[in-house]
């Protein structure tokens, strides 16, 4: 069956993707339930398996080491963090800092002599010595003084050896030949392997080509001995750097072609090949690719093709049903899931309706059992059950009866003891999922696998907890979920409830859903034939003439309206903001379309723009209700003291073009809810989006004279700020303009001193040391520097790489830049759209002509498309100003000079955003202490501040504060007035006289 022939199973998937957890679980509970008799037999089998597992835990230093240093202990976390980063650190100085950071605080002495393994106890003493060598507290220990600096290379070598030893636990071999040789050892007798060439995701085309070649070579190597029964697992994300729905038309055909080549090769050699599972957002793409390859005539008669299905996904059951309808035998590997935490976070960040997966571990177990039962009953599916859970294994054995026409699977390095007796004495099949690759490549994989299988709710963790009884470990997941009615986990709120009862989170769109994306594209596409993106500016003259008010008239009307609006109760003003937020969501498509067409925003950026505006409205409404009510203050008896917060008068809000809706409304509604009237000036490039926002604000209940739009250029802004009737100014834009405004506010000696809230730009730097994961660094750099065509105040301008990793990181960054698409912002595949106008284009292109360009891209000649550009500079001092566009500068810094590097960035005088990528906690602490910036981002991108979570704003040349979207912002818009009343002046304090202890 080809993917264009829609099956009933495929049709049912969209409805389940964001369905409520209880609704999805109801049929699964029925399918996963055991009868009382089968439950008793299953528990008997499970108890035997549990005994085998516990016996294996006492054998071998690996199991005992992992049991001693559990993931929920500070020592376990320290070892995991060290393993994740140590082997990729090239320089000894940073390696020593990393060791000191991870070993220095943990209590290794508490573990001495506790294990039954002499090797584990010896390793523990090594950790104790290592901690002593890297320092305990401020003063050197006696041991450190004794061994002195000569000990540090020793510790470094010992730690490196230990990390490689940990690598060998979880990785079958550095090469496919080494892995196949290891599978012949006695401990693997009776087991087969599915080899996975390590590569979580390609960042560049070179990465994808290298991984594809590794798979080709692995298939060839395994195919030399097909009788061994080994197979290959393939990750599609390793074969394309842009495996995402927005690039569907590009990546799906390319991946289909590569998967076909691998499948034809495997079929010709008589070995099996399985496509691994990916994040839920890629499921539909994966099914298209797998379905097409499954239907190829050249593969008919080959029963070695397969796919993995993740049981924690709400669509797992119909995915398996779909696999059974492909018109061929399909190998299906059922796993519990690999991306749970990232899927939860993505759903929350994007404000989606519900989670694509189950929020309780027991619910995933229920789903796994229900789907497993379907697989056992499906004639066209050859099942493989990947699990380390004794109860899950025993349940499958119960349902399968005497059949052995399926296999179990486990991860290499985990689940020892569970399957040995089943394989060698009872005739069951078990396949080891065996990662292959260099130890440096395995670390991200290793950490994720340990986190998956070491969580408190996991079977592996419970097995190691000696406080849990057998009954607790083998508790029925069906009973657990039935007891709570299938309800979502109480600690994981729906995205809409992420911020609690105070306000609703803004609603997002699932742009990873192809149907949603296509509908959104149709809603925001450019109107008018022949118009190229960025080819024409929008003139304020095209606005309704009624909106083009003279500034003097507008200020006069706003001043006249002030008394009525400021006396409106805070609750009523806040209610207007809530209604405005709802209207913004109602008109989301229209507002996104204007953002795309007028401000040249890409579709994700346009969506983010509307969501941020909604969040500003709801957040400031909540802040006003909570923080602008009169406050009773303490004082002596007979006196009443109250602090009131009143509007100041007429505010001028002057907004930029780069956030023409979010910042325009954020500044404006903050002033309004504080009791002020507002004359709002949008940027001359983006008046239409502001005009529509004002119309909606009026529809939400804001009086027409309390909020007046005055479109225009710098002359209008200058007239506004110079008018003595203006009681305050909120401005976002360039530092130079902010300074002009500040001077104009002080030019008239007779004018009252009025507040200025200014948010300006910055020379924003990201500092990267050699412990950072290069793939993560590059992804965050590309996002921070080039998203929104670099036209964000917070955008990355200066990348500072530690010298030892600079060249390799730059090469990866160049490859990632090659995957960027520059063009029409209404095209969902576009990453970088036009800059805002011809002046910006000419300024940036002129700068590029004299720059030392390390990397740039070819872009279409039409439109205001500035190529993403990487510029090499010799030092931090070589960059003296902000270049507001897709231009990133890169320089290096020497190991051990973090503090000096931060101070050099501070010396620029800007203070908006800074980023740090490092696995050393003390480096983050040092950066936090020294960085003179409003927003510091550690191990993530530097853009996309969330209202209420990441208040945004800078210092120095980057702004005045207070921070937008923060708890102190509204108070800058109000006049604080204290009222003290002597209540004794009317004859005494009757309340005091009435106390039992008082009186004559």
Q: Is 594 within 8 Å of 523 (Cβ atoms)?
A: no
Closest residue by Cα to residue 978 from 562, 649, 646: 646
What single string gives the DSSP state of each residue in 799-817? EEEEGGGHHHHHHHHHHHH
**Nearest to residue 3, comparing CAs of 479, 271, 323?**
323
Partners of 888 in the β-ladder: 870
Cis peptide before 73 (omega within 30 of 0): no
Q: What interhelical angle do 283-294 and 8-17 show, nearest 10?
A: 170
With left for phi above 0 and alpha for psi between -120 and 50, is residue 489 left, alpha or beta? Answer: beta
Helix (H) or strand (E) holding 69: none
Structure tokens at 708: 């007046």
Contact 956, 909 (CB under 8 A): yes
- Cβ(344)–Cβ(492) below 8 Å: yes
Assess contact for 799 and 811: CB atoms under 8 A: no
Taking the C-alpha atoms of residue 890 and residue 875, their distance in angstroms, rounded to an integer, is 9
Question: Cα–Cα distance between 945 and 316 in angstroms, integer?
Answer: 34
- Phi, psi (degrees; rounded to nearest 5) at 232: -125, 140
Question: Could you give the count of Cα atoms lying within 13 Å of 945 in the half-sphere of its Cβ?
Answer: 27
Closest CA to 652 of 684, 672, 678, 690: 678
Tokens standing for residue 520: 């959104």
**Closest by Cα among 751, 822, 812, 758 to 786:** 822
Reduced to 3 states (helix: H, G, I; strand: E, B; else coil), residue 68 is helix
Strands 887-893 and 869-872: parallel
Which residues are identified as catalytic?
759, 793
Q: Which residues pair with 628 in a beta bridge?
A: none
Three-state helix/strand/coil letters over 898-925: HHHHHHHHHCCCCCCEEEEECCCHHHHH
Which region holds residue 417: left if phi is over 0, alpha if psi is between -120 and 50, else beta? left
Q: Nearest Cα to 343, choosing from 607, 9, 819, 17?
A: 17
Question: For residue 718, what is the enclosing H or E element?
Answer: helix 714-722
C-alpha 897/C-alpha 73 separation (Å) is 32
Radius of gyration (Cα) for the chain, nearest Å? 32
The values of phi and psi at residue 784, to 5°, are: -70, -35
Residue 543 DSSP code? S
Structure tokens at 363: 């619910």
Kind of pairing between the strands at 974-982 and 639-647: antiparallel
Give the DSSP H or E segment for 302.
Answer: none
Distance in Å from the first CA to the final CA of the chain: 99
Place of tokens 């499948």: 263
User: 880-913: string of b/e by CB count within 10 Å (b at 16+)?
Assistant: eebbbbbbbbbbbbebeebeebbebbbebebbbb
> Could you identify the residue written with the tokens 């099942």?
383
């Amino acid at each position: 069956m080809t993917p264009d022939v829609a099956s009933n199973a495929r049709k049912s998937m969209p409805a389940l993707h964001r369905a409520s957890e209880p609704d999805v679980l109801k049929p699964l509970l029925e399918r996963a339930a055991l009868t009382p008799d089968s439950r008793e037999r299953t528990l008997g089998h499970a108890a035997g398996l549990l005994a085998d597992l516990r016996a294996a835990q006492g054998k071998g230093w690996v199991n005992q080491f992992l049991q001693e240093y559990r993931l929920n202990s500070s020592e376990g976390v320290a070892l995991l963090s060290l393993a994740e980063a140590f082997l990729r650190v090239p320089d000894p100085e940073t390696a020593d800092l990393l060791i000191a950071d991870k070993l220095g605080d943990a209590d290794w002495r508490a573990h001495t002599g506790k294990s039954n393994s002499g090797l584990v106890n010896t390793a523990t003493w090594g950790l104790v010595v290592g901690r002593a060598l890297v320092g305990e507290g401020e003063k050197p220990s006696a041991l450190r003084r004794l061994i002195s600096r000569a000990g540090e290379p020793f510790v470094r070598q010992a730690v490196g050896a230990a990390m490689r030893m940990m690598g060998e636990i979880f990785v079958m071999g550095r090469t496919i030949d080494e892995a196949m040789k290891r599978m012949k050892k006695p401990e693997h007798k009776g087991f087969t392997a599915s080899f996975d060439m390590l590569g979580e995701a390609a960042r560049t085309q070179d990465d994808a080509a290298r991984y594809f070649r590794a798979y080709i070579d692995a298939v060839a190597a395994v195919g030399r001995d097909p009788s061994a029964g080994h197979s290959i697992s393939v990750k599609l994300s390793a074969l394309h750097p842009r495996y995402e729905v927005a690039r569907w038309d590009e990546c799906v055909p390319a991946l289909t072609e590569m998967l076909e080549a691998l499948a034809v090769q495997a079929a010709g050699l008589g070995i099996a090949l399985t496509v691994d599972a990916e994040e839920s957002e890629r499921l539909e793409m994966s099914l298209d690719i797998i379905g097409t390859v499954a239907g190829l005539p050249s593969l008919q008669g080959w029963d070695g093709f397969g796919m993995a299905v993740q049981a924690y996904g709400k669509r797992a059951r119909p995915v398996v049903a779909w696999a059974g309808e492909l018109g061929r035998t399909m190998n299906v590997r059922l796993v519990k899931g690999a991306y749970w935490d990232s899927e939860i976070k993505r759903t929350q960040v994007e404000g989606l309706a519900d989670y694509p997966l189950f929020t309780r571990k027991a619910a995933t177990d229920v789903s796994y059992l229900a789907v497993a039962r379907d697989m056992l009953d499906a004639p066209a599916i050859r099942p493989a059950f990947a699990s380390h859970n004794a109860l899950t294994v025993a349940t499958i054995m119960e349902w399968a009866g005497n059949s052995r026409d399926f296999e179990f699977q486990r991860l290499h390095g985990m689940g020892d003891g569970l399957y040995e007796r089943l394989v060698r004495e009872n005739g069951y099949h078990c396949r080891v999922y065996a990662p292959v690759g260099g130890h440096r490549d395995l670390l991200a994989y290793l950490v994720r696998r340990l986190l998956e299988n070491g969580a408190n709710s996991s079977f592996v963790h419970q097995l190691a907890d000696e406080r849990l009884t057998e009954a607790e470990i083998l508790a029925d997941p069906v009973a657990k979920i039935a007891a709570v009615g299938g309800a979502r986990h109480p600690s994981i709120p729906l995205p809409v409830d992420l911020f609690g009862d105070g306000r609703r989170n803004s609603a997002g769109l699932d742009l990873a859903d192809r149907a949603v994306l296509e509908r959104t594209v149709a809603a925001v596409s450019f109107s008018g034939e022949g118009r190229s993106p960025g080819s024409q500016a929008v003139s304020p003259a095209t606005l309704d003439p009624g909106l083009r008010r003279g500034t003097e008239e507008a200020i006069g009307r706003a001043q006249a309206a002030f008394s009525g609006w400021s006396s409106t109760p805070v609750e009523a003003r806040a209610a207007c903001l809530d209604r405005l937020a709802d209207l913004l969501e109602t008109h989301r498509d229209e507002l996104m379309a204007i953002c795309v067409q007028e401000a040249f925003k890409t579709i994700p950026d346009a969506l983010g723009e509307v969501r941020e505006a909604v969040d500003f409205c709801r957040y400031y409404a909540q802040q006003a209700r909570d923080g602008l009510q009169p406050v009773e203050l303490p004082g002596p008896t007979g006196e009443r003291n109250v602090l009131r917060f009143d509007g100041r008068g007429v505010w001028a809000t002057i907004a930029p073009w780069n956030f023409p809706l979010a910042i325009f409304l954020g500044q404006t509604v903050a002033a309004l809810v504080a009791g002020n009237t507002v004359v709002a000036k949008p940027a001359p490039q983006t008046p239409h989006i502001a005009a529509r926002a004002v119309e909606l604000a009026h529809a939400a209940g804001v009086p027409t004279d309390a909020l007046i739009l005055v479109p225009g250029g710098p002359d209008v802004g200058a007239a506004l700020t110079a008018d003595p009737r203006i009681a305050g100014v909120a401005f976002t834009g360039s530092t130079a303009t902010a300074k002009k405004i500040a001077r104009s506010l002080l030019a008239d000696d007779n004018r009252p001193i009025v507040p200025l809230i200014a948010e300006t730009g910055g020379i924003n730097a990201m500092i990267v040391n050699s412990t950072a994961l290069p793939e993560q660094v590059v992804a965050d750099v590309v996002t921070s520097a080039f998203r929104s065509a670099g036209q964000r105040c917070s955008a990355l301008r200066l990348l500072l790489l530690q010298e030892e990793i600079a060249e390799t990181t730059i090469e990866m960054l160049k490859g990632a830049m090659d995957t960027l698409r520059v063009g029409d912002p209404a095209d969902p595949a576009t990453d970088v759209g036009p800059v805002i106008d011809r002046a910006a284009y000419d300024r940036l292109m002129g700068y590029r002509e004299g720059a030392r360009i390390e990397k740039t891209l070819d872009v279409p000649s039409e439109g205001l498309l500035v190529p993403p550009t990487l510029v090499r500079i010799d030092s931090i001092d070589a960059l003296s100003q902000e270049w507001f566009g897709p231009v990133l500068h890169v320089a290096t810094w020497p190991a051990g000079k973090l503090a000096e590097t931060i101070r050099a960035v501070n010396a620029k005088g800007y203070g908006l955003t800074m980023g740090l990528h490092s696995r050393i906690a003390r480096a983050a602490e040092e950066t936090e202490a020294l960085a003179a910036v409003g927003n510091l981002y550690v191990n993530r991108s530097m853009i996309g501040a969330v209202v209420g979570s990441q208040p945004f704003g800078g210092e120095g040349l980057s702004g005045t504060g207070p921070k937008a979207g923060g708890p102190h912002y509204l108070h800058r818009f109000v006049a604080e007035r204290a009222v003290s009343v002597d209540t004794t002046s009317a004859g005494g304090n009757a309340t005091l006289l009435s106390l039992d202890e008082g009186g004559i």
